[in-house]
A and B are shown apart, each in its own frame.
Chain A
Amino acid sequence: MSEPALVLNKIVVAFGALKAVDDISLTVKGGERRAVIGPNGAGKTTLFNAITGVRPPTSGRITFEGKEVTGKPAQIRARMGMSRTFQITNLFPTMTVDENMQLALRGTGRGKFSMLGSIRLTSEEHDRVSSALQMSRLGERGAVAVNELSYGEQRQLEMAMALVSNPRLLLLDEPAAGLSPAERHMVADIIRSLPHDLTMVLIEHDMELVLNLVDKVTCLNNGQMLAEGSPEDISNNQLVQDVYLGKARADA
């Protein structure tokens, strides 16, 4: 717990003249659960892309478990223990749930280069897959084709795939986006029941959902840090309330 899991130092991500992420610095401790909230277009997903290596930052430094990763490609960061889900569902649609899980499982190991070997899982691998599916409440759906899953189940599979590699940092990008209230409730339950030594950063548009799930909240607006603090601090913060009621722009 002594060493921070993730340190962002003055991160800027620019698209031409637009600074989608504008000078963000933050520190996530090992085992911490952090929420990143903010209105649509605040730069939350862009910040995730910088953290995970999908789009390296324009400037700034990213340190993961004491090692600088700023310029490292996404697959190297994944092998170091970062794992993420996507806001816009990003699965392998022509395959079954099991095949999706196999790819998720083998990405960080060496078995993926086996060219003449069997695709069957070892019993240890099989256990990891079923426990990740169980955690995501997808237990019995292994043989189903992904394009036959409901939207909600696809969101659950996103989570199961991110969990199966036993990551040390889990980044969830709006896991409950587009779900019904009942399904959102289940997603909250899933997140609550994840192992507690797993460091987690959770993006969520909806403040209510996250406030009782996390230790600390970061609120972004227009790419900038608006506020950071405990869930209570944030829910009582005037600036944050203004943003969520759409008043911030007038002040800025």
Chain B
Amino acid sequence: MMRSATALALRSPLSFLALLAVIFGLLPLLVSSYQTSVANEILIFALLAMSIDVLAGYAGRTSLGHGAIFGISTYVVIYWTTLMGGSPWVGCILGIAAATLTAAVFALLAVRVSGVYFLLLTLALGMIVWGVCLRWTSVTGGENGIRGAGRPDVIADPIAFYYMTLATVLFFTLVIWRFVHSPFGLTLRGIRDSESRMRSLGYGTATHMFLAFTITGLFAGVAGALYALFNDFVSPSTVQLAQSVEGLLMAIIGGVGTLFGSFIGAAAIILLENFVSQYTARWPMVLGLMFICTMIFAPQGVLGALRKLMGWKQ
């Protein structure tokens, strides 16, 4: 019964979204306000992980630059509200636009490479963003970062903000699901499988990769804008490599190419991070161990392993 319900949820996005809406929707009634804020963070990072999964799981390109794209959106939102005194809503739109634009610039450079070159190039581009945020002190506040101006009144209450996050993330989950299952989404899988065949069939593969990369930048930008409202503070650690790595690991642990696995990966990593940090400061080591265990015991991620175990189709 339980099994078939989960199987159904995986095949149809609407039932999966309903499942998520029920679980995350009821959570604030059942747990403490601190735990609700952890759930809020999980939702935001699940969206970042999904943006990475579109490239990793469908186009076969592993990006280490999406944490920086995410963080640029966070910077812009906080800069706009705090230092320019602008509206947070306009700030969110500007943040998402800045992230999308950054992704477009990354994409121009990265569309022609694949494999480890793509990984290294996106890593380098992300490092440049981090370096700029660290050094351009007059704008970014350097190492000290920038404190936000607080959330607008309607979402000042953490519970109200939590539900806004939930609605936004569920909406974009549906959008991303449609995106990867569209004719365009199929072309990304085609590029992953055989770029030369795609060209011979008439596809400008660089154009497709450019569009895909830029659009995933928009998704990461939405997550980054939510994070600005959530965290109310931004510093170079928001755009650092570790952010990209964590987003990627969430996608991998949940199951690359499963999309919904990102929720499992984000929950696993954020819950563990909160738990472990009470006892030790060696979080990166624990994260590394977790990654190794996933690679050994469930190389296709949690959802990928479940899928295989139960013979579900993609």
A76-101 vs B: 1/0 string, CB under 8 Å? 00110001101000111111000100
Q: Give chain A nearest CB distance to B213 CB in angstroms.
A: 14
Q: Do B183 and A119 have beta carbons less than 8 Å apart?
A: yes
Q: Do B199 and A78 have beta carbons less than 8 Å apart?
A: yes
Q: Do A93 and B193 have beta carbons less than 8 Å apart?
A: yes
| Cα of A78 to Cα of B198 in the assembled complex, Å | 10
Given known pairs A92-B194, A103-B190, the reply for A116 and B175 (CB within 8 Å) is: yes
Q: Do B182 and A119 have beta carbons less than 8 Å apart?
A: yes
Q: Do A99 and B186 have beta carbons less than 8 Å apart?
A: yes
> Which among B178, B189, B199 is the interface contact of A73 at CB below 8 angstroms?
B199
Q: Do A107 and B182 have beta carbons less than 8 Å apart?
A: no
Q: Do B200 and A112 have beta carbons less than 8 Å apart?
A: no
Could you say which residues of chain A place their CB within 8 Å of the CB of B175? 116
Q: Give chain A nearest CB distance to B241 CB in angstroms.
A: 30
Chain A interface residue bracket vs B: 35 or more
Question: Taking CB as reference atom, which chain A residue is nearest B184?
Answer: A115
Determine if B112 is an interface residue (Cβ-Cβ < 8 Å).
Answer: no
Given known pairs A114-B183, A119-B181, the reply for A95 and B201 (CB within 8 Å) is: no
| Cα of A83 to Cα of B200 in the assembled complex, Å | 7
Determine if A102 is an interface residue (Cβ-Cβ < 8 Å).
Answer: yes
> Which among A86, A92, A94, A115 is the interface contact of B179 at CB below 8 angstroms?
A115
Could you say which residues of chain B place their CB within 8 Å of the CB of A107? 198, 201-203
Q: Do A91 and B194 have beta carbons less than 8 Å apart?
A: yes
Determine if B204 is an interface residue (Cβ-Cβ < 8 Å).
Answer: yes
Main secondary structure of the interface of A (DSSP, over half): loop
Q: Do B202 and A86 have beta carbons less than 8 Å apart?
A: no
A198-219 vs B: 1/0 string, CB under 8 Å? 0000000000000000000000
Q: Give chain B nearest CB distance to A66 CB in angstroms.
A: 20
Given known pairs A75-B204, A79-B202, A107-B202, the reply for A90 and B196 (CB within 8 Å) is: yes
Question: Taking CB as reference atom, which chain A residue is nearest B179?
Answer: A115
22 contacts between A and B (CB under 8 A): A53-B199, A54-B196, A73-B204, A74-B200, A75-B200, A75-B202, A78-B199, A78-B201, A78-B202, A90-B197, A95-B193, A103-B190, A103-B198, A103-B203, A106-B187, A107-B203, A112-B183, A112-B187, A115-B178, A116-B179, A119-B185, A165-B201
| 9 A-B pairs with the lowest CB-CB distances in the bound complex, closest first | A107-B201, A107-B202, A78-B202, A92-B193, A74-B199, A108-B202, A115-B184, A114-B183, A90-B197
| Besides the known contacts A90-B200, A108-B201, 19 further A-B residue pairs in the complex with CB atoms under 8 A apart | A53-B199, A54-B200, A73-B204, A74-B199, A74-B200, A78-B199, A78-B201, A86-B197, A91-B194, A92-B193, A103-B203, A104-B201, A107-B201, A108-B202, A112-B187, A112-B203, A116-B175, A116-B178, A117-B183
